[in-house]
Structure formats: structure tokens, C-alpha cells
Structure 1
């Protein structure tokens, strides 16, 4: 299933760029048959090939593999990549919450931070 999505996205990106399978194959160093097999889901790319294709189209490998629908290289991961995975989910849920709920959660976070700062001051 993943490589069917990969094939469809590869074909779509190639067509959006207005290039044929032959031209794409030539520009990236593949055979036209190899490109056709990828697009039809008959062949799976290795990591280096996947990265090469993502770089060519300036999209993320996650997008090519169907793990996200956002083709942009830089997603919401900037802050999340620095967090524990469980906290990342927590912060993502905050981001997706309604604005009034986000404000409540910000206030709660400020209370937690101020208590932490106060406790740190008590220990010194």
C-alpha cells in the first residue's frame, strides 16, 4: 500500500513539473523502466533513491511515502523534534484545539512554569 501511494505521488509530482518519465529518468540517473515501475508500485525504492527523488522534487520523504499530506520539507516538527514523543503529541493536540481552549492551556502552562521557577528559587 505504501508504495502505491509513493507511485501515485511520484507520478503526480513529475506531471506537475511537466516532465516525461524519460526526462525525469535522465535527470535523476534512472532508466525510464525504473521510473515506470516506481509509479506503478511494482518496484520499491531504497533509502538513497527515495531521498534522491524527494530532493529532486523538494518534498519530504514522509510525503512521498504517504505519512503526511503536506509536501513541505519543514513541517510542525521543528518544536516537536526536540520533545519527548509523548509530549509532542500533547503539544500537537494543543495546536489543534479551538482558540479558547488554547488560551486556557497557555494559562495552565504559565502556572506550571511559575511554580517550577518558584521551586527552583526555594532550593537555592
Structure 2
């Protein structure tokens, strides 16, 4: 699923263009688009930043590609004791990405 979403998001740009933005080789990026391997969490976050989508969208956990910052920031890992440790860590990572995007947007005079 991630591969098809990456291809769709890339649009008319080349794999090389996206790979350069990510600081990886074109071949490595190609592996992600062809579902041969999955990026680690840090690279996943950078990919989401470049395309302006959530990591949940890239992972196929939602069909909504647009981050909803306010809604996402309402939750913390302590809000649901039924979450697994992996889910809590994933949520922490996602919230950190949202905060970084907001900080970046706040410092951007064009926004």
C-alpha cells in the first residue's frame, strides 16, 4: 500500500528528485515505491513532511492524507491505557512530527 501511495504523491516528479530531497539514493527510494522494504520511522517522518501527509496515510492506517494538528495534539499516550507499547511509541513519533511541522510553519514568513 505504501508504495502505491508514494507513487501517487510523487506525481510527475522523478524518483531521483524525491530521493535527493530525502538524502538517499534513487535505488533506495525505488525499493520503497515497489514495496520491497519499508523506511525506518525517521525516514518515514521525512517522507511525510516532504509530501505534506501524515505517516498514518503513508502506512495505510487512514485514507485522509491531511494532518489534523489540533485533533492529533489532543491525545497523549496516557489517554488510552489499552494501547500497546508499539502504538504508544508510534503516537509519540507522530505527535513529534506534527509539532515540528507547526514550528516550521510558524517560522515560515510565507505561511
Q: TM-score under structure 2 normalisation?
A: 0.63
Structure 1 unaligned blocks of 5 or more: 87-124
Structure 2 unaligned blocks of 5 or more: 82-111
**What is the aligned length?**
80
Distance 1:47 1:78, change over 3 A: closer
Give the Cα separation in 1 of the matches to 2:56 and 2:70.
Answer: 13
What whole-Å deviation, never above 9, does each CA across 1:7-45 have from its counterpart, x for those lacking one? 111111001xx2100111112211110111000100110
> How far did 1:81 drift?
2.1
Give the Cα separation in 2 of the matches to 1:11 and 1:58.
Answer: 14
Higher helix share: 1
Where do 1:78-117 residues align within 5 Å?
Answer: 78=72, 81=75, 84-85=79-80
Supply the RMSD in Å over aligned alpha carbons: 2.2
User: In the alignment, which of 30, 35, 39 is matched to residue 33 of structure 2?
Assistant: 39
User: In the alignment, which of 9, 12, 15 is matched to residue 8 of structure 2?
Assistant: 12
Distance 1:79 1:54, change over 3 A: closer
What whole-Å deviation, never above 9, does each CA across 1:67-122 have from its counterpart, x for those lacking one? 00000111783486279449xxxxxxxxxxxxxxxxxxxxxxxxxxxxxxxxxxxx
Query: Whose radius of gyration is greater, 1 or 2?
Result: 1
Equivalence for 1:122: none
Q: TM-score under structure 1 normalisation?
A: 0.57
User: In the alignment, which of 69, 94, 114 is matched to residue 63 of structure 2?
Assistant: 69
